[in-house]
Structure 1
Amino acid sequence: MKENLDKVKFAASKALTRLMMKALDESRLQIEAQTMRFADAKPPPIAEESRGIAERFMNSLHDYFEELTTLLVNDTEIEPESYDNLSLVDHDYLEAMIAMEGMVKQLRDKEIKGMRSFLTRLETMYPNIRIDETNNPLDPEQVGDCFNEAVKPLGFKAHYLLTIYREFNKTVFGKYDDVIAEANDLLVDLGVLPDLDITARERELRKQKRDEARAQLAEEQQLKAAEEQAELKARMTRKPKAKPESPDQSQSEMFTMMQSLVHGLAKQSNNAGLAATAGTEISGELAAEQEELRKQQQKLMGMLTDIQSNMLTKAAGSGTPGFISANNVAQSINDSLKAEQSSGDLGAISAQSGDVINLVTMLYEAIWKDEALPVVMKELIGRTQITIMKVALSDTAFFDNQNHPARALLNELALAGIAWTQTVNLDSDPVYQTVKQIVERLLSESAPGNEFLQQLLNDLRVSRSKIVGTDLNLERRVRESEDISQSMDDVNEYVRQKINERVLKGYLDPSIRKLLDTHIHRFLVKLVTREGPEGKSWKPVMSTIDALLWTVQAEKHVGDRERFERINPRLLDNLGKVLEIGGASKTKITKIMRQLKQVQEFTFHQAEHGATAEQSQNGDSLTNRVILATRNKKDVPALPRNDPDLRRVDKLAIGTWMEFRGNSGERVRCALAAKIDSIEKLFFADSEGKKVMELTRMRLAHELKAGAVKVVSEGSLVNRAMESVISNLKQTSTQKPRRRASA
């Protein structure tokens, strides 16, 4: 397998480096044309440095491939990052980094054709490694990082960098589908899941079709019209059974791949995974008439509605109204299909309908096994299985479109209840009541369309946002405003809302609260008016506010004094700029700075004299209620730069939920609310937005390594379930060849 991976590594890195060099050359021509307009302007030495850039770029790509199977150990301790990310000045490299983040997001949003097949093939080669966007060597973020690191040492100015990055986006990311297609073709040639996707099958069919057409022309010399008609007929009869009806193949890649794996399972003697359709009649051909398909769909929908009604009634009568297992649903569907077909009321169902029924059943089986989902939420989501099955039967885009309203609703339901590890007092939880109402509304709709599903999703999001004091409608109005200067009331409220999100519902000195509500508020209003909501300067400014709030919090930890002394000069400098832009006079700025320093020193004075420690022990801090492997360690040893747990910590996104074990063994969950890179700290909050814990990145990495904490919301619920289904199908498909080999 290592040999196969090396072939992909060299081919992909060569292709990407070639495109990258082309982007550099194009940007060089543009920059030289720009500088010719100015007498003293000197263009950057792109041509002279291109070889070095290419070498660094390719070496970094190779490293990402190597890290799939080997840990690159570096004994050098991590050096604390500078506090430049707090600067309000648009530094050259910061602008380039932000530009790259936007380009990566844009490429991911458009669904890279063939990427799912590539990941599936990699996981087949290395079944013990979970491969996703964090360690996929050809993920756009990894490739973007390679380019960032290759260009960074040259110190180009921002306006030159942005020209270079635009060409990189156009030339490299613009041809990304071709790079992934080449990687997939190479793996197919190496025998790695050659029949996985429809592209490989169609390639053989097209070759076969051309050969037959030539033979027919040579032998019969028929008229052109007759030849075209015969060719059309041959093409129709040779059409792959599993090919979806969508004209846009790139939009049906996931469904097609899953169909292919299901068909492989169906060919095996032990196909227990297809319990919903086992022993039923499934058509192997496409229906000749759309009217016949429509009638069959109506009968299936009616049958599923009856099954759902009967199961809910039976569950209510048994005293467990929430519990409906995926296996019970599969058995009920199987019994009903056999009964309908035996009576003649329902003929052979189409292959696609059978695939959808089996895949949704497998999906819900995976959801029930998902450890991140509390039992009470599993029971609520489990009741929606037949409704979601009807949605998928009507629209197979459910499997491919990550933003499909039905998928988004399931993901939002899972997030709403992710902290419900304890069922005590759930009836008084307003979000729990909303979730129950959403599920009931979903079940009562006989034919849920996308608009209905989107409305349920919006209602759930609004309900959740109210708990943490967020107005989603306000944010939508600000983002969609054509002239933001005409919506100043909304802008002021939006800024107030964003400031409150940073405070994390903890105690705050009144002088700091006043500073946030006046001068910083006015500065942020000007920023939003100039750049729009969350423009290019938003992230560094929010980091400044996070750092400010950290310096004045009462709770202190080992090493905080040193961190404070390192970052505070830069923090005060940045705050001075904020206050000046916010309209404060020099006298006012001096007074505010003096008051801020007093609050900062007072919090450290309290901590050094034990006041904070005593409050923490007597209080309800989550740190004191959970088991930590590093609790009794004053400091923890530094981990290598490429340590997998440390890298995982660095990639944690805001909003990621973590699970700790309480002192009594109970599960305790909290979400990552903020990260301050300059002091290497992460802050966690409960479901109501209240800060409950802070840990250094190194300490959290050690906790992950010791198994004292685990990430429970890595990826969305439906994505995790689909990955589980695909993994199980792949494992089953590889069992048969192994049995033959041993026979």
Structure 2
Amino acid sequence: MELLSNCRDHAHKFYGDLLLAAEKTINDVLFEQAERCTNNKEQQRYFEAMQQLKERSGAMHTAFRHELGKSFQAFISGHEEEQTVEEEIDIGKLSLVQRDELEDELAISIIVSKANSRNSETLWKLNKRMAATRGGKSVTDESNPFGPHRICEALQVGVGELLLDNKVRIIFYKQLGKIFVISFAKELDALNGILVEKGILPNLRFSVIKSQQAEPSAPVASAEEGDSEQRPDDTEGLVESQGSITHQQDLYNSIRALQSAVGNRSQTAGGVSFGKVQTNGRDGEDSFSSMDYALALSAIQQSKAFLSAAALNRPLKAEKVEENFIDQLSKQGDKNSRHKMTRGDADTVDLVGMIFRYMLDDTNLHDAVKLMLSHLHTPYLKLALMDKTFLDNYQHSARVLLNTMAEVGGKWVKKDNERNVLPKIKTVVENILTSFVDDPTIFDRLLEDFSRFKENIEKRSRMVEKRNTESQQGLEKLELSRQQAANEIETRLDDDEILEGAVDLLRQPWTDFLAFNLLRHGQDSLTWESALKVVDGVIWSIKPSAATDNKDDFKRHQSDLEVSVAEGLTTIGYDPEASKGLLNSLKEAQELAYHHSVIDAVNKPAPAEAAGATAAPQTPKEKTGKVETKKALKTAPPVLSPEEQTVVEKLKDIAFGTWFEFDREKTSQQLKLAWFSRVSSHYMFVDHSGVKQAVETQYDLAKGMCAGNIRIAEPTKKSFMERALEAVFDKLKLTA
């Protein structure tokens, strides 16, 4: 009991101090979020959260400590077991789970899952040792009062003391997860050390028994020294879908099975000879240790030739890495010391080499990205030989970082001189090369930083796409407004009495006038009705029948109308400078109409002449000196084949965000459908940066798709590592 109390005091102090340190980090993150906000309302959200954290910090820590104490007391009393399903369900208390509560539970479960996965061996040993302190009664990950499960439950209770909205709470859990996940290892190791000092299972070994189907089974304990330490297969993979996890796990197991079927190897899969380094070691004193590998690869990684190749962006072939590695191991080992490589380590060298060879052939990556990432072969080989879980741990930060850089590079880098993503990837690669010696936590920091970078460029892309979409929508509205305005003008000008010259003077400026009002106020507004009345008055004033023979009367009539039209333009808020242009065009049309009426009066036939003969019928142009002016504003749709018509119908229901591939002038470009108009049937496409690249009509799009020049693309959803493992497996099958 005293021993467990000592463990309690140590653990509660550690986790309490950790929460206190996390509080400062969270406060800084909230401040950064507030600075990034684009509006006051959103910014106020984060400032209020910071105030809550300041005012209720004490309540949060008290609730956290209280929950830790409850958990420990339940463990001591033996009442920590989970309820059965029947005990959990109370029919009288059944209700729908609140969305906020569900998201809290999900966030906590992710933290617990990550922590358990990373510390499976250490936690398993602690469970066994704690069970031994109470007569062998089983201790599980869930019942261990010092394990991630109970600690995270206490965190949830503590955070619950803060009155935070859902969005801010998720930020809290995200930051707590980053801090606690990487800190559990230290405390679990310390607790194991306390128990070992007191003689509790000091020789405990961790192993896993697998069936013939390679299914992982429960680990077993042994107080005797085993042949080797192993870890269970990691199947968490929260970053990727469960189907992808299962697929990759099967691939990894199959790859290892194919590798184990190979006889004694004398060279790597890339054809590099192992030379003096034997590959039949059995974890004995004559076999290289993880530290030996780390020293050898660090020497290569820090060499002037290696660093200069990375700085000068020269490609690094996998064979060169393997050659240097084996040469360095040969120098370190001799017959009187460690000089053999285990079969598993040789397989790891091969697997990492094949992954980086695949990278150079991956069609999803631009050559500039491949070149930079190829320099990670050495540090990633070091990591794989030091951390046996790296290659099959789907949530390992180094693996997620490589996947993320490959994803961002494949998505954003399309040319050698890309000025945003490439420099960032280069910075990350250089940091790994110069800073990774034997502490893998560097990958946690770099992943966090690169994830923020990714988030920022995606946010910027969404903003650019939004602006381009709004701009296209504005152009669409303008075009529709101009079309409707033109129809209104043409309908009024379709009058035999209106002169052709007057029509030309009025068509463009007064169409613009109506379009402006329609776009700003809409066709159901009183302003639009007033604008139409202004145009009606203008149209009437340019008819010869409205003119008078008396020049003074005409001038007076013209002046009165000008005042009336000017007042109308002011009433509807039309631009004063633009109004002057409209009035000038009106004067010219009226002058033309007046002169035409005078000419008609002079040329008017005498009554006798009019009665004496029947004039030949005249066309409208012969009668009035005018031509038909109405425009065909809408052209007839093109004739489509049945296949093209079928595609048109499908395009009507296409979803925004669908990617298309355009083949033009011997180049291929993938563009995303950002917006389309159901009125004009225009489709707007943007690139990955959100910049508008094309606007296609529905008919042209259908024709291009039927011709094979345009097609719906299916961007790969598989991560780089998944694609690499598939390629490695296919290659091994051919050589098996």
Fold shared per TM-score above 0.5: no
Aligning the two structures, in what range does the TM-score lie when normalised by the shorter sequence? Answer: 0.3 to 0.5
TM-score (norm 1): 0.40
TM-score (norm 2): 0.41
State the structure with more CA Rg: 2
